[in-house]
Structure 1
Amino acid sequence: MSEEEVLIHQLFDEEKLTDKQKKIIVAAIESFSEKGYAATSTNEIAKKAGVAEGTIFRHYKTKKELLMSIVAPLMAKMIGPFVVNDFNKVLDREYDRVEDFLRATIENRRAVLIKLLPVVKIMLQEIPFQPELREQFLEQIAKKIFDRVSGIIESYQEKGQLIEMPPESLARLAITNILGYLFTRYVLFPDSHWDDELETERTVQFIMHGLARKESN
């Protein structure tokens, strides 16, 4: 069973899907992930699925409706709960040092990204252009995680390990750097030579110290 077929089994009530619908959804996930929504035609999806293009429009009025029929349950049933609940493994632990918390966060998000890479690509490509999807992402993932990370940042500030700055700002800076590294590593340049352990450490040190050279006494 392919990754896409596993997704159909997990996300949809298979009894309500015809065999042709299953083939269309599998083909759409593959095509949207590889080329993006805008660059994929329904004709391409139909050919990959082995069905007539008209068959797609019998089940889905538009290409956008096909996209949303995939990403809406993905967000609600799989990505949202999985991303939030899995990250709770990190957020529920206490780390003595903020650096250890950051390393654990990077490794946790790396594992999630690798597991969900095909659908994550679709989400990343379409969130900026699909208001409904963006709102789902904010409600089911971003707000839940951001609030908890901000609280943890504040606790490290109280211990004197982080600078005085609004915790929300520090959380944004840390999250942006971590996601930026993982996006570059696994989406933009996955075939480049990466020393993951070294890049993780560099990302942590950049978050902790930035770019400025410390003045010598």
Structure 2
Amino acid sequence: MEETIEQWMQDLLKLDSAGAKMTEKQIKILQSAIEVFAEKGYAASSTNEIAQRAGVAEGTIFRHYKTKKDLLLSIVAPAMTKLIAPFVLRGFNKVLDTQYASYDQLIRSMIENRIEFLKKHKNILKILIQEIPFHPELQESFQRDVLAKVLERLSKLVAQFQAQGTIIELPTATVVRLTVSTIVGYVLVRSFYGERPGAEWDDEREREETIAFIMRGLGVS
């Protein structure tokens, strides 16, 4: 098990809704589950492997969590509603509250902000990406607690640039979707491929090409 715990994990251990302090075994179980889920995905993971990595008996897991699904939700649900969502908004506030002369400057700031976010929260985000499509309760939570709030803030900024005549007249939700999906694609590929040893990745070029791609589609000639 890695000795360095991601910052989000340190915060997650403080989120016990009952206010009770987690035992050392619970902490080890959660840390091990996060690592195994991130490495193999939920479906291919077993509670036996999680228990072995945590150094506890498998029965110990089931004393705290009734099923493997309960263990997954105990990690992802509070991380998304109490940690990921506030962090997304808090991180974006620094970006969205700044005045930008052009839309490409906003895009560049968003990219830099999200890269820092991924560095600190790679494992939990990997689990979210892997599991959200297969768990309706996670989809609902993500849409309500993360996506809706981000879209609301970004839509206001897009409307301002459209009013200035620097972005084409499309529904603001469409502009946001096209922008965010392109940025997320770049950031994820950079984080999970571009940072691998030996990867042929010119980050500065990839970043500028991503921004140019968005502006060619949305900018006013």
Question: Structure 2-normalised TM-score?
Answer: 0.89
Query: 1:62-85 CA distances to partner (integer Å, 9 max, x unpaired)?
Result: 100000011111112211111111
Displacement of 1:158 in angstroms is 1.0
CA distance in 1, matches of 2:175, 2:144: 21
Q: How does 1:16-55 map to 2 (within 5 A)?
A: 16-55=21-60
Q: How does 1:1-217 map to 2 (within 5 A)?
A: 2-3=4-5, 6-12=10-16, 15-188=20-193, 190-191=195-196, 192-210=199-217
Question: What code does the residue aligned with 2:202 have?
Answer: D
CA distance in 1, matches of 2:164, 2:189: 32
| Regions of 4+ moved over 6 Å | none
Query: 1:109-147 CA distances to partner (integer Å, 9 max, x unpaired)?
Result: 111111111111111111111111111111111111111
CA distance in 2, matches of 1:105, 1:54: 45
Displacement of 1:104 in angstroms is 0.6
Judge conservation of contact 2:35–2:123 (CA < 8 Å) in 1.
Answer: yes
Deviates more, 1:9-18 or 1:104-113: 9-18
User: Aligned Cα RMSD in Å?
Assistant: 1.9
Kindly tell me the number of residue pairs found equivalent between the two proteins: 211
Identity of aligned residues (%): 49
CA distance in 2, matches of 1:101, 1:62: 44
CA distance in 2, matches of 1:142, 1:131: 15
Judge conservation of contact 1:102–1:204 (CA < 8 Å) in 2.
Answer: yes
CA distance in 2, matches of 1:22, 1:99: 43
Structure 1 residues not aligned, in runs of 5+? none
Question: What code does the residue aligned with 2:126 have?
Answer: K
Question: Structure 1-normalised TM-score?
Answer: 0.90
CA distance in 2, matches of 1:8, 1:161: 42
Query: 1:48-107 CA distances to partner (integer Å, 9 max, x unpaired)?
Result: 011111211121111000000111111122111111111111111110111101111111
Q: Secondary structure at the match of 1:145?
A: helix
